[in-house]
Amino acid sequence: MVNIAIFASGNGSNFENLVKEIQNGHVDNATCKVLIIDKEQAYAKERAQKLGIPCVYVNPKAYGGKEGYETEIMKVLKEYDVELIVLAGYMRFIGKVLLENYPNKIINIHPAYLPNFPGAHGIQDAYNAKVDFTGVTVHYVDEGVDTGQIIHQEKIMIDPSWDLETLEEHVHAKEYDMFPRVLKMVCEQIEK
Ligand code: GRF
Q: The pTM is what?
A: 0.97
Pick from 28, 18, 23, 42: nearest CA to 92: 42
Q: Give the residue, by CA position, lying nearest to ligand 1 atom 8.
A: 89
Block means of pLDDT (10 residues each) for the chain, length 192 residues? 98 98 98 98 98 98 97 98 98 97 98 97 98 98 92 98 98 98 98 92
Q: How far is the CA of 124 from the centre of ligand 1 (A)?
A: 13
Quickly count helices (H) and strands (E) in the chain. Answer: 6, 7
**What pLDDT score does 63 carry?**
98
Four-residue CA torsion sign, 182, 23, 87, 186? negative
Q: In the beta sheet, which residues pair with residue 31?
A: 3
Longest dimension (CA), the chain: 50
**What pLDDT score does 144 carry?**
87
Q: How far is the CA of 87 from the centre of ligand 1 (A)?
A: 9
Q: Which of 94, 109, 117, 156 to mutate to test the pocket of ligand 1 (most atoms within 8 A of CB)?
A: 109
DSSP, collapsed to helix, strand or coil, labels residue 53 as: coil
**What pLDDT score does 183 carry?**
98
Q: How far is the CA of 98 from the centre of ligand 1 (A)?
A: 21
Find out whether 171 and 111 touch, Cβ atoms under 8 Å. yes
